[in-house]
Structure 1
Amino acid sequence: MTSEQETEEPVESGYSPERMIFFSDAVFAIAMTLLAIEIERPEEKDLVSSAALAEFLWHHISSLIAFVLGFFLLWGVQRRHHVLMDRARRLTHRMSGWNAAVLVLAAFLPFPTAMIGHGFGNSLAVGIFAVTYAALLGCEAMLKHTAVREGVVSNPAAVRLGVVVSVVLAAFFLLTALAVQFAGAVPALGYAAPYGWIAIPLVIDLTHRVWRRRHPDAP
């Protein structure tokens, strides 16, 4: 037995990162599939001509936009989850609890996604979606924070950056939810908020830049 094997931390039965990844991936896959189920399907009358089909697609464009939005937001959570689990040597009970919270909210996300798909300009629907995703990001941040605090990840500095990114994104979504709810005099904001979420990559990039400026020694 090598010295590396001798110092390897024991993994409690049922708490290996691999098992958590497999189960989490299954939940994410189901949630992403449920997003597609909510897309409106054309009926026979909508297929009688190209004009009728084009009219149907335009009338239900919001459900297609909601599907794409929900899919890529869930995909982003899944990818960040993979990165964290690849750095985790083992899991802890607290990590398992926060992971369960992440999965509950991921599985619930198709419901508010369907609401904005059928009511794209509805400020309450947009707010519920934004708050749900913000809560999901908050649980994601706590999962990463717990992993760092309990000392079970390699490269904890990178994971701390991940915590900051999750918190900043959660704040971004909460701000859009508040803006929509308190801007009743400007109904167009109900439509603008989902399009504003396209700026997420810019928010992430800016967060990385600020973090590296404040922590020049960070990897």
Structure 2
Amino acid sequence: MSTDARPEPGLSPERLAFFTDAIFAIAMTLLAVELEHPDDKQIHSGGALWEFLVDQWGSYLAFALAFVLLWSVWRRHHQLMDRVRRLSRAFAFWHAPFLLLVAFLPFPTAVMGASITNPMAQTLFAGTMAAMVCCEATLKELSVAAGLATDDPAAIRHHAGASWSVGLWFALSAALAWLLPYAYVMWFLAPLAAACGARLLTRLRGRRAATVSVP
């Protein structure tokens, strides 16, 4: 490979992908570390241990939900990085808030697990997720706008639309949490929001492009 083909120092796609994978792995592990453990008295009594486990159902639900969400965000980022052949400074920069939110997610997960129907706890979690997936969408938009991804830019824009839709869905759930104690149920419908939102935004992009191209 010639010297000219080497990426600019600090803009290596491989190093950024490896670092991102490490942050996701640590965050997903910390989700389990935040789970409360039974004390010595509870651990030696079957009935007391059962009561403890039942009492902690909110923590287990929050853990499972956050783990699945982080897994899905990581998988989408993995697919994006497999398409990226070079980086821009803006693309690298936006990984800072993106990974900050990934690393922060175990905290709102623990808070929500302690009081899953608390509107402030739901708002903290939903707000973190909304900001994270919006950063994810921004990365996808930048990869297409700067020509960083050489493989199917239309598909990447479609996936960006899905991420914007999920971000809006979580923001909406944060607002509804102050009216409905079980607004978190909306989060289980995030895949549906992504699919419907992506199709809608793709159509709107197509109409806008057609309008602009008309002389």
TM-score, normalised relative to structure 1? 0.86
Q: Deviations over 1:144-186 (max 9, x none)?
A: 11111111102111110111011000000000001112x1xxx
Taking a change above 3 Å as real, the CA distance of residues 209 and 144 of structure 1, as seen in their structure-2 partners, is closer
Deviates more, 1:77-86 or 1:41-50: 41-50
Q: Partners of 2:68 and 2:5 in 1: how far apart? A: 35
- Which of 169, 173, 196 is the matching residue for 2:170? 173
What is the aligned residue count?
203
Give 1:88's aligned residue: 84
User: Is the partner of 1:89 in helix, strand or coil?
Assistant: coil
Residue among 96, 107, 110 paired with 1:111: 107
* 22, 28, 34: which one aligns with 1:32: 28
1:186 corresponds in structure 2 to none
1-structure distance, mates of 2:118, 2:10: 43
| CA apart distance, 1:208 | 4.7
The aligned amino acid for 1:201 is: P
- 1:159 — aligned with what? 156
Separation (CA, whole Å) in 2 of partners of 1:104 and 1:86? 22
Which runs of no fewer than 5 residues in structure 2 stay unpaired? 207-215
Cα distance between partner residues in 2 of 1:175 and 1:118: 22
Match of 1:203 among 187, 193, 198: 193
Query: Which amino acid in structure 1 is aligned with residue 163 of structure 2?
Result: S
* Over 4 Å off, 4+ runs: 208-215
Match of 1:41 among 33, 37, 44: 37
Which residue number in structure 1 is paired with residue 209 of structure 2?
none
Shift of residue 9, structure 1, vs aligned partner: 5.3
Whole-angstrom distance in 2 between the partners of 1:167 and 1:207: 8
Alignment partner, residue 133 of structure 2: 137
CA contact (8 A) 2:158 2:202 kept: no
Question: CA shift at 1:209, angstroms?
Answer: 4.7
2: CA distance, partners of 1:65 / 1:25: 24
User: What does residue range 64-75 of structure 1 map to in structure 2 within 5 Å?
Assistant: 64-75=60-71
Matches within 5 A, 1:173-192: 173-181=170-178, 183=179, 189-190=180-181, 192=182
1:121 corresponds in structure 2 to 117
Per-residue CA distance 1:103-143 (angstroms, 9 max, x = gap):
01100111111110111111011011111110111111111
Matched residues, percent identical? 45
Amino acid across the alignment from 1:14: G
Choose which of 117, 142, 145 in structure 2 pairs with 1:146: 142
Cα RMSD (Å)? 1.9
CA–CA distance in structure 2, aligned partners of residues 20 and 118 of structure 1: 34
1:13 is displaced (CA, Å) by 2.4
